[in-house]
Amino acid sequence: MSAPRRARGLLLTGLLVALLVAGVGSWYASSSPDGLERTAQRTGFAATARDSATADSPLADYSVAGLGSDRISGGLAGVIGVTVTLVLAGGLTMLVRRRDRDRDRDPAGSGD
């Protein structure tokens, strides 16, 4: 197997694992408060908490708004998050590679 084909297989495997962990693994995430929330409850300042500016966004609280099932909602939010992250990272990588390739073609930067 050639190196590019092997790399493509590795990337595809990594993508599938990330989507599985985000989509299925999130079903088993704890619903208990995180450390900051628990500390706020213990010390008595939890009542002063305010909602974030993004509290009414479609993916607030790690769930997709409007779905009846918490498991499906959380899993879908995880899959969306992984997909958006990979698209942004991939797009940035492609831009950087193109810029480096253009610089290699014209190292003097003359633009000709």
**DSSP of 9-59:** HHHHHHHHHHHHHHHTGGGG---S--HHHHHHHHHT-GGG----TTTTSTT
* pTM, rounded to two decimals: 0.67
* 63 located within any domain: yes
pLDDT of residue 106 exceeding 70: no
| Count of the separate structural domains present in the chain | 1
* 8 located within any domain: no
Cα end-to-end span (Å), the chain: 40
Range with lowest mean pLDDT among 16-20, 25-29, 47-51, 95-99: 25-29
Domain that holds residue 84: 55-107
Angle at 48 between CA 43 and CA 52, to 5 degrees: 120
* 59 located within any domain: yes
* 38 located within any domain: no
pLDDT of residue 110 exceeding 60: no
DSSP summary character for residue 60: G
